[in-house]
Each structure stands twice: as C-alpha cells, then as structure tokens.
C-alpha cells in the first residue's frame, strides 16, 4: 500500500477549513467608496427570482399569428433592449419556439419598494419603434438631437428583413461579418434619396430602436435597389444581434401577455432562510450520525463533507472575479442539501467496507486500502447516475445558449423553457455536488484517513468499527 505522510491530514484539513471560511466570507478590500473583490463569497451569490422576488412573465403573439423563428428572435431582442433601457440588467429571457412564447424573468432591485411590475410588463410588450435617421447627433442623455432628431429616413414598416451573414475579405481572405437589409417598396425611394445625398459627404445613417441608437454605419455609395449591407468590425454574434434588433422593429404583431406572477422579496428571503436552516440542521445531524456509527472514518467524513459544501458554495458564488456568479434558486438550495446526502453516502459505503475488513482480520492499513478500493465502484456508479440526471435536467430545461442545451439539443427539442430558472439551478447544484463528492468524499477523505491512521493513538481497531 502506498503510504501517506503524517502531515497530509493536517494539510488537507487546513485547506478545507480555509476553503470553507473563504467560500462563505470572500476576500475583498475597500478603499474609500471603491470595493475590490478578489475572491467572491456567499454575499456575492445572485439569488433567483423565487428568493429575491421579482416578475415572471410570458409573452406570445396575438391569437392566430404563427410567428417564425426569426420573428421570435426579433421579439426577444426588443425585450432585451428594453430591459437594458429600464436599467434591469440582471434578467433572463428565453424563447420557446415550439409554443411561440418568450419567457422573461427579472428580479426586484435591492431595496426596491415602489416598482410597478404591470407598467414594466406593458412597456416590454409594446411594438418596437425602429427608425433610421440622418447623422448620429445625441444630447447629454443619449437621445437624438439636431439633424438626427428632425430627419427620419425610414421606419420599421419600411424594412422587410435583416439577415446576418458574411463575405470574404479579398485582402485577408478571412470572413467579414455583415448585416444585409432588404427594404419594402415604401422604403426604397426614401433610402435611395438619402444614400445618394449622404454618400457625397460620407455621412452616416444611425439606426435607433425606441430612443436607443444601436448602430451608425457610414454611407459609402448610393443604394437604389432597396438592398443594403452594414459592415464593420463585427463578430458573428454581434452581426446576428444587430439583425435581430432591426427585425424586432419590423414585427407585424404586438406581443401579448399570456400570464405573469410576482413574488414579494420578503416571502422569497423567508423561504431561503428556512432552506438554509434546514441545510445546517441536516449537516449537523449527519455529522453526529456518521461519527457515532463509524467513529474515526465518520469524523474524517465530516471534514470532507464540509469541504464538499464549501466547494458547492464556491461554484455558485463564482469564487474568482472572472467567473460569473450563478443564479441560485430554492430548488438549487435543495440540490445542495441533496448532494450533502449523496456525499455522506459515499463515505458511509467506504466506512462500512473498512469495518468489514477489520472484522475479517485485516490490518488497519490493509482495511483502509481495501475499503476504499472495493467501495469505489459503487460510489462511481451512484455519482455517475446523479451526474447524468443533472445533465439531463440542465440540457432539457436550461437556457438555449447553455453548454448542455447545445450538446443535448437533438434529444430535448420537445421541451419548453418555462421552468428553466428553477430546474436548471437544481441540476447545476446536483452536478457540482457529484463532482465535489469525488474530490472531497473520495480523494480528500482517503488521504486524511490514511494519514491519521499512521499516528499511534489512532491505530486501534475499534476506532474503525472493530471491537474494543
């Protein structure tokens, strides 16, 4: 058996304690009014709408309208832009193409008490006002002014479609992403006159959605056939986003509110506190149980389980500044609590195996080695099963741009996204818990138990389940 040094127990234990403290408190400095976060803690967790409170609303086209995928993407674009205009940046917007629905969730702001959700919902669902204007003059508030305010060249009704694509740059032979415009008959003549005039001075035509300028391309040549290209230093995603925004202004329908509900922040925070308390009680009960039943391996399992909980919190909070904080919902907290049970299960299986080997007459070192070796297959099967379930939940009910949704989309095309926030969070915490179980429940606990078993006071068989 490969021996583990005596200091390993203390090193691993100290690292787990440090991870636990830092994952809950974080590390940051405050200089004047500026706070610099080096490591994120529990206070940096983004709470879901079911905890923080907020609005959950579903928009649909009017009855009888069969919207295309492009129109639904355009509808999403206008809602996202309006959320930004309302300074609601912490939001979730999903499209269910199968049922022609746009699901929007946005939380209450901190300390918010007079927000009118019905007014915000009404504003989000209004048809976008798309305009093409001469120049790009703006006032101090970013609103059109001067020539730009007074000279509207096109409106949304004049635009037939916008499509992202690319052309090959002749100089570099690399793709150059563009947005192709096609105008209706109502806009061809107006656009021809404006581009003919502005091309002589290399002027610009700014594109506005409501009162927000979304682009301001230069006019290089007259465009008389109603087909134009907007080029620039676009990435593929940027070109598609611009096309979606332009299409949103040409939507032939107004979004209707199918249903919505609001959650009071007080109720959500109260539910969160109850769930956290339940988790603490569950952890303490498990710690007492495994220590009494399995003695030294049980005590080591408690330390490893503490590391697993800390690792789950770190994965949710973001831990490092360049990692985004994950939105944690009530089902997500339930996933963490459930993963605690899965984590202790791995340690119980191992401790029971060690106890059996002790009774079979094996030495302490041999019993520990065989216990972990023979328990690993069962632990692997259980956690792989849990990981598969978690990935199915994330792939089927997660955002369309999530990794698992992209990988598993051929299998889960029939699912909608109306429950994405809650179920996705639950699947994520389950998956993290399973991964942390391998790190702490298997690897860290084995290192600690092999290390501490080398100390003479801990080489008594009854400490591992044998008789005194």
Does pLDDT of 163 surpass 80? Answer: yes
- Distances in whole angstroms, Cα of residue 357 to Cα of each of 2, 369, 437, 462: 18, 10, 23, 12
- 301: helix, strand or coil: helix
User: Mean pLDDT over residues 252-272, rounded?
Assistant: 75
pLDDT at 418: 43
pLDDT band at 38 (very low <50, low <70, confident <90, very high): confident
pLDDT at 105: 82
SS (H, E, C) 390-404: HHHHHHHHCCCCCHH
Q: Which of 260, 230, 313, 275 is nearest to 25 (CA)?
A: 313
CATH class of residue range 54-127+255-263: alpha beta
User: Mean pLDDT over residues 181-206, rounded?
Assistant: 90
pLDDT at 174: 80
pLDDT band at 303 (very low <50, low <70, confident <90, very high): very high
Does pLDDT of 417 surpass 50? Answer: no
Does pLDDT of 425 surpass 60? Answer: yes
pLDDT band at 419 (very low <50, low <70, confident <90, very high): very low
DSSP state of 454: T
pLDDT at 398: 61
Does pLDDT of 18 surpass 80? Answer: yes
pLDDT at 299: 92
Does pLDDT of 13 surpass 50? Answer: yes
What is the pTM assigned to this prediction? 0.64
Contact between 208 and 193 (Cβ < 8 Å) = no
pLDDT band at 194 (very low <50, low <70, confident <90, very high): very high
- 96: helix, strand or coil: strand
Contact between 253 and 65 (Cβ < 8 Å) = yes
Does pLDDT of 2 surpass 90? Answer: no
Q: Which of 6, 7, 27 is nearest to 18 (CA)?
A: 27
Beta strands 327-328 and 46-47: pairing type? parallel
Residue-by-residue DSSP string for 3-40: ---THHHHHHHHHHHHHHHHHHH-EEEEETTEEEEEE-
Contact between 198 and 128 (Cβ < 8 Å) = no
pLDDT at 64: 82
The span from the CA of 393 to the CA of 460, in Å, is: 46
User: Mean pLDDT over residues 54-76, rounded?
Assistant: 84
Beta strands 175-183 and 227-231: pairing type? antiparallel
Residues 97-118 pLDDT 10s = 888 888 888 777 555 556 677 7
DSSP H or E stretch at residue 341 = helix 330-359
Contact between 208 and 133 (Cβ < 8 Å) = yes
pLDDT at 145: 92
DSSP H or E stretch at residue 352 = helix 330-359
User: Where in the chain are the domains?
Assistant: 7-40+264-464, 54-127+255-263, 130-248
The span from the CA of 418 to the CA of 98, in Å, is: 12
pLDDT band at 448 (very low <50, low <70, confident <90, very high): very high
Q: Which of 104, 135, 121 is nearest to 207 (CA)?
A: 135
- 229: helix, strand or coil: strand
Question: What is the layout of strands, in order, in the sheet containing 175-183?
Answer: 159-168, 175-183, 227-231
Contact between 48 and 328 (Cβ < 8 Å) = yes
Q: Find the range with the poorest average confidence among 35-44, 78-87, 130-139.
A: 78-87
Q: Which of 257, 265, 258, 259 is nearest to 114 (CA)?
A: 265
The span from the CA of 21 to the CA of 217, in Å, is: 52
pLDDT band at 421 (very low <50, low <70, confident <90, very high): low
Of the two residues 113 and 222, the one the predictor is more confident about is: 222
User: Mean pLDDT over residues 121-125, rounded?
Assistant: 72
pLDDT at 89: 61
CATH homologous superfamily for the domain 7-40+264-464: Multidrug efflux transporter AcrB transmembrane domain (1.20.1640.10)
Tokens of 391: 């990935």
Cβ neighbors of 375 (< 8 A, separation 6 or more) are 346, 349, 350, 352, 353
- Residue 232 Rama label (left phi>0; alpha psi -120 to 50; beta): left
Residues 61-70 pLDDT 10s = 888 888 888 8
User: Mean pLDDT over residues 249-266, rounded?
Assistant: 74
User: Mean pLDDT over residues 120-132, rounded?
Assistant: 74
Mean pLDDT of the chain: 82
Give the bridge partners for 103, in sequence order: 58, 94
- 167: helix, strand or coil: strand
Which CATH fold topology does 130-248 show? Gyrase A; domain 2 (3.30.1360)
- 405: helix, strand or coil: helix
Q: Which of 294, 388, 390 is nearest to 345 (CA)?
A: 294
Q: Find the range with the poorest average confidence among 72-86, 189-203, 445-459.
A: 72-86
pLDDT band at 414 (very low <50, low <70, confident <90, very high): low
């Amino acid at each position: 058996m490969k021996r583990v040094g005596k200091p390993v127990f203390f090193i691993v234990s100290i690292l787990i304690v440090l991870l636990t403290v830092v994952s809950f408190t974080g590390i940051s400095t405050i200089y004047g009014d500026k706070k610099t976060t080096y490591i994120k803690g529990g206070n940096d967790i983004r709470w879901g709408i079911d905890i923080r409170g907020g609005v959950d609303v579903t928009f649909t086209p009017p009855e009888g309208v069969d919207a295309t995928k492009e129109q639904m993407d355009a509808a999403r674009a206008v809602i996202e832009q309006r959320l930004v205009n309302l300074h609601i940046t912490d939001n979730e917007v999903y499209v269910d193409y199968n049922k022609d629905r746009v699901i929007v969730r946005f939380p209450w702001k901190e300390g918010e008490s007079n927000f009118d959700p019905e007014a915000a919902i009404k504003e989000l669902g209004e048809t976008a006002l798309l305009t093409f204007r001469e120049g790009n003059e703006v006032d101090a508030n970013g609103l059109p002014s001067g020539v730009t305010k007074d000279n509207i060249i096109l409106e949304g009704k004049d635009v037939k479609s916008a499509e992202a694509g690319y052309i090959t740059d002749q100089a570099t032979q690399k793709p150059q992403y563009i947005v192709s415009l096609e105008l209706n008959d109502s806009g061809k003549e107006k656009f021809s006159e404006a581009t003919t005039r502005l091309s002589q001075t290399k002027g610009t035509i700014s594109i506005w959605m409501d009162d927000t300028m979304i682009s301001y391309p230069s006019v290089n040549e007259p465009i008389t056939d109603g087909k134009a290209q907007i080029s620039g230093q676009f990435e593929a995603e940027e070109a598609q986003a611009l096309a979606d925004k332009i299409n949103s202004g040409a939507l032939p329908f107004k979004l209707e509110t199918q249903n919505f509900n609001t959650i009071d922040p007080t109720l959500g925070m109260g539910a969160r506190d109850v769930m956290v308390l339940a988790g603490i009680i569950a952890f303490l009960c498990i710690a007492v149980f495994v220590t009494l039943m399995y003695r030294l391996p049980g005590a080591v399992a408690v330390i490893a389980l503490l590391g697993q909980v800390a690792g789950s919190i770190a994965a949710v909070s973001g831990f490092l500044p360049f990692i985004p904080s994950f939105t944690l919902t009530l089902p997500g907290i339930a996933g963490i609590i459930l993963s605690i049970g899965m984590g202790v299960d791995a340690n119980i299986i191992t401790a029971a195996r060690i106890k059996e080997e002790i009774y079979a007459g094996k030495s302490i070192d041999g019993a520990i080695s065989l216990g972990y070796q023979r328990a690993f297959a069962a632990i692997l099967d259980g956690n792989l099963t849990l990981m598969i379930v978690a990935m199915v939940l994330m792939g089927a009910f997660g955002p369309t741009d999530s990794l698992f949704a992209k990988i598993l989309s051929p299998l889960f095309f029939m699912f909608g996204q109306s429950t994405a926030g809650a179920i996705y969070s639950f699947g994520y915490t389950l998956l993290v818990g399973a991964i942390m179980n391998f790190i702490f429940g298997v690897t860290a606990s084995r290192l600690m138990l092999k290390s501490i078993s080398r100390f003479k006071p801990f080489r008594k068989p009854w400490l591992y389940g044998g008789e005194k």
